[in-house]
Amino acid sequence: MPSRSNGLAAELEKVRTLALVGPSASGKTTLAELMLKSAGAIGATGSVERGSTVSDHDPIERRMQHSLNSSVMHLTHAGTRIHFIDTPGGPDFLGQSLPALEAVETAAVVINAATGIESMAVRMMEYAASRHLARMIIVNKIDSQGISLSGLLADIQATFGRECLPLNLPNAMDKRVVDCFFNRHGQSDLGPVEAAHRALVEQVVEVDAAFVDRYLEEGDVDPSELHAPLEQALREGHLIPVCFVSARSGAGVSELLDVIVKLLPDPTEANPPDFLVGEGTQARPMAVEPDPSKHVLAHVFKVTVDPYVGKMGIFRVHQGTITRDSQLYIGDGRKPFKAGHLFMLQGKTYVEVPRVLPGDIAAVAKVDEIHFDAVLHDAAEDDRVHLAPLDFPIPVHGLAIEPKRHGDEQRMWEILGKLVDEDPCLRLEHAVVTNETIVYGLGELHLRVLLERLREVYRFEVNTRPPRIAYRETVTMPAEGHHRHKKQSGGAGQFGEVFLRIEPLARGAGFEFADEVRGGTIPGQFIPAVEKGVREVLERGAIAGYPVVDVRVVVYDGKHHSVDSKDIAFATAGRKAFIAAIQAARAIVLEPVVNIDIAAPDKVVGDVTGDLSGRRGLVTGTSNGSAGTVLIRGQVPLAELSGYQSRLNALTSGQGRYTMELSHYEAVPPSVQQTLMGQHQQQRDEE
């Protein structure tokens, strides 16, 4: 990795980027507010309760008093520009928090000292590690009553590893925190500073054999000499610093800013992002350097669509320099756009700047073609460059939606399209069989917020129907299908005959289509029509009206007529042959099964696990949480979780909460399949 003295622009050494991630109610937004105030970026601190923070500027966020969107901010401390992103902590809003990891060198996981380690903290640590980011833990609310910080630190080390070591220690008597990296003297609430200092130095020098020898010979190493091995330890995950703060009182906030400036990596010191060139299996890694003199590579990690301002793309510069006059391409687009106005963001406030360098987070507005995950560049040869994709959870909560006013369908699709552009964990589709518009999200709250945005931001009223489960159909054995389509009604007729075979693929493999026709029995120009007919069945379903997945279709024979054969004839023959094959292949309906994490008081664990079992669920493990709670892990069919929060509230007197994400698809019980097939047949009869 390049060092601070490698000749790159000195400005890069004065840039830091980090994302504040972690569970809801850990105090990320309040901490962001205190950081801005401590650095002089704002004159007075706002509050979440009053809806006056820089970060939570959306009216719905203010009313709910929870972050629903990621918010980009910046400040200057000790001559260093710090870009940071406040992210939502709810699992329904991972589509906002995960992309923030693409824009930063460091993921700062914020933990509430009063509630301990929650599932979102664990998930964000895992996500950050998978993207090779430096990680740190910020323990917030250290002045909460009845907590054990030493016990929490032990839990952190047990959960995330012994490499989690404090960079500072709380001192309740003085209402401050004590540095234990550069300083080795004094006492803290967690014991002598000397012991924490020694543990840190020993952990850092382990990555460099020369420093190990010095440490063994001299008994200590001056921390000011440890910058290079410290950055290596952060890059390799060999050190995960822990800092203590109270965003309520301000204790430790200025010290946190010092840590960010003095110890966290700048753009030249972090692991390079995983850029790839090419597509699919042919994609290969591409070297990217944080060099202002090279051509531009920037990544759009967030898109907002304002009804008045238009579309805004928020991006991180990874290479090159962007100015107002820069001509930039979007992905494989052939038409460049002029940057025109460049902005750094302070919540909802746009601060215009003349240029941005590697490490900077900036935005451009009113570029309709810009989209989430786009790569901006100024060299035509980079049109196939992309960042390795994030592993987003799959949205499985469905809601049928229609406009209240007849004739507004097109406008509804346009508005929903804008909302989907902003959130990669929203999915929109048209159900062909039921002629419904379905929007899928990560949970009930996710979809509720979407409906509120429709109503409050776009003044658009809709009707909804009960959540729709994203069932799928597949086959369990090989089979063959055949259909001859022949239609004669005077003049030119229609003729096409198709023989095909199908076989199941591994779960999640998708769909494969192969042409093994020999001797021209089906002329080549009609094979796409056959595939079109097959794909119609993939969308519409064959036994219960749900999409067909994980199947391979091979067309191997057929017949044609020199005059009457047409595309429509072979599309029809392909569709009906595919349906015949599916019906002979022991087709089944698959349902989504989710991983569920439930936090509940320990005295009602038996009631909660019993209720889960009654929902066809499986308990896979339990562990002790904080303050008399137990964490219950399990798997349960999504169809069984309708209204589950209300039931959990009843079982736990309102103290229970749960999170979930898609695990896999598996076959529904035969009784459920018969019900779904019967409903589908009844619907077809009514039509």
**Span 21-42, pLDDT tens digits:** 999 989 999 999 999 999 999 9
Structure tokens at 229: 């091995």
pLDDT exceeds 50 at position 5: no
CB 630 within 8 A of CB 583: no
Cα radius of gyration (the chain): 29
Helix (H) or strand (E) run with residue 54 in it: none
Residue from 450, 476, 483, 479 nearest 464 by CA: 450
For the chain, list the domains and their CATH numbers.
Answer: 14-200+239-263 (3.40.50.300), 397-470 (3.30.70.870), 474-586 (3.30.230.10), 589-671 (3.30.70.240)
Mean pLDDT of the chain: 90
pLDDT exceeds 80 at position 382: no
**Span 609-657, pLDDT tens digits:** 999 999 999 999 988 766 678 889 999 999 898 888 889 989 998 888 8
Chain center to CA of 133: 15
Query: What DSSP designation does 393 have?
Result: P
The one-letter code for the residue type at 275 is F
Reported as a pLDDT band with limits 50, 70 and 90, residue 383 is low
Q: What is the pLDDT of residue 50?
A: 87
Enumerate the H helices of 597-669 as residue ranges: 605-614, 644-652
H helices then E strands: how many in the chain?
A: 16, 37
For residue 399, what are the contacts with CB-CB under 8 A and spacing of at least 6?
438, 439, 440, 441, 447, 464, 465, 467, 468
d(CA 104, CA 70): 13
CB 346 within 8 A of CB 74: yes
Specify the 3-state DSSP secondary structure of 76.
strand
d(CA 64, CA 89): 13
Q: What is the pLDDT of residue 681?
A: 85
Average pLDDT over residues 177-189: 91
Instruction: Return the higher-pLDDT residue of 166 and 397.
Output: 166
Widest pairwise Cα distance in the chain:
101
Structure tokens at 101: 């990891």
